[in-house]
Amino acid sequence: MWLSSYVSAIANGGTFYKPFLVKKITDGGQKPIQVFESEELARLPFDSKTMDIVREAMREVVVSGTAQMLNSLPVKVAAKTGTAEVGAKGSGLNSVFVAYAPFEDPEIAISVVIENIGQKQGLAVLAAKQFFEKYFGDLILPLN
Statement: residue 143 has pLDDT above 60:
no
User: Lowest-confidence range among 8-12, 19-23, 29-33, 75-79?
Assistant: 19-23
For 108: left if phi > 0, alpha if psi spans -120 to 50, otherwise beta; the answer is beta
Whole-number average pLDDT of the chain: 90
CA separation for the pair 73, 82 (Å, rounded): 21
CA separation for the pair 98, 111 (Å, rounded): 4
Q: 33-75 pLDDT, tens per residue?
A: 999 999 999 999 999 999 999 999 999 999 999 999 999 999 9
Stated pTM of the model: 0.84
In this structure, CATH architecture of domain 2-139: 3-Layer(aba) Sandwich (3.40)
Q: How far is CA 110 from CA 11, 34, 54, in A?
A: 11, 24, 17
Residues 15-38 have a mean pLDDT of 92
78: CB partners within 8 A, 6+ apart: 11, 55, 58, 59, 61, 62, 99, 100, 101, 103
Residues 82-108 have a mean pLDDT of 87
Question: With bands split at pLDDT 50, 70 and 90, how would you rate the model's confidence at 121?
Answer: confident
Statement: residue 142 has pLDDT above 90:
no
Question: With bands split at pLDDT 50, 70 and 90, how would you rate the model's confidence at 93?
Answer: confident
Helix (H) or strand (E) holding 111: strand 108-114
